[in-house]
């Protein structure tokens, strides 16, 4: 082996995928729109001390190990009802959360997706905040 500098390391060139990406559908636009809505539990909207988050649910299908479900299964929840409060989605789990707050998650997810799709079809901006009362 010759002395001197170590051999240059070759970095492999990333290949383009031959098949489309596997896994759940992703839509940053949909998640951004969800965050403009009010919390489905308390109707708070993002503002001074309140942050509305897009909470991924499992109502449109189960997820793989270490994966979130499709972005189109997300619902708007304030930080408290998503993660922090005793009656939050992550502390109670999906079935108990839906039962305690009397929310039909499948209906909410389906209607939110329908409203989003209709706004895109009509060409309206989905950046405008909408209240869930309008659903």
Q: Is residue 44 part of a domain?
A: yes
pLDDT band of residue 20 (cuts 50, 70, 90) is low
The boundaries of the domain holding residue 112 are 28-124
Q: Flag whether 98 is in a domain.
A: yes
47: three-class secondary structure by DSSP: coil
Query: Does 8 map to a domain?
Result: no
Domains: count for the chain: 1
CA–CA distance, 54 with 36 (Å, rounded to integer): 10
Write the pLDDT tens digit of every residue in 45-83: 877 777 899 999 988 777 666 667 888 999 999 999 998
Is the CB of residue 112 less than 8 Å from the CB of residue 75?
A: yes
Tens digits of per-residue pLDDT, 113-134? 999 988 888 776 555 444 444 4
Please state whether the predicted TM-score (pTM) of the whole model is above 0.85: no
- The answer to whether residue 36 is domain-embedded is yes
Can you tell me the distance from the alpha carbon of 124 to that of 55, in angstroms, rounded to the nearest whole number? Answer: 24
* Closest C-alpha to 115, from 94, 90, 134, 88: 134
Lowest-pLDDT choice from 11-25, 40-54, 69-83, 93-107: 11-25
């Amino acid at each position: 082996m010759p002395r001197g500098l170590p051999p240059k390391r070759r970095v492999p060139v990333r290949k383009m995928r031959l098949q489309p990406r596997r896994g759940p559908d992703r839509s940053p636009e949909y998640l951004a729109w969800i965050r403009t809505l009010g919390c489905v539990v308390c109707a708070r909207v993002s503002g001074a001390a309140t942050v509305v988050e897009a909470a991924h649910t499992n109502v449109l299908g189960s997820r793989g190990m270490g994966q979130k479900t499709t972005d189109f299964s997300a619902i708007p929840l304030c930080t408290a009802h998503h993660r922090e409060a005793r009656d939050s989605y992550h502390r109670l789990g999906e079935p108990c959360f839906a039962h305690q707050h009397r929310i039909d998650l499948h209906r909410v997810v389906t209607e939110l997706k329908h409203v989003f799709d209709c706004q895109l079809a009509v060409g309206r901006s989905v950046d405008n905040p909408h209240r869930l009362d309008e659903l």
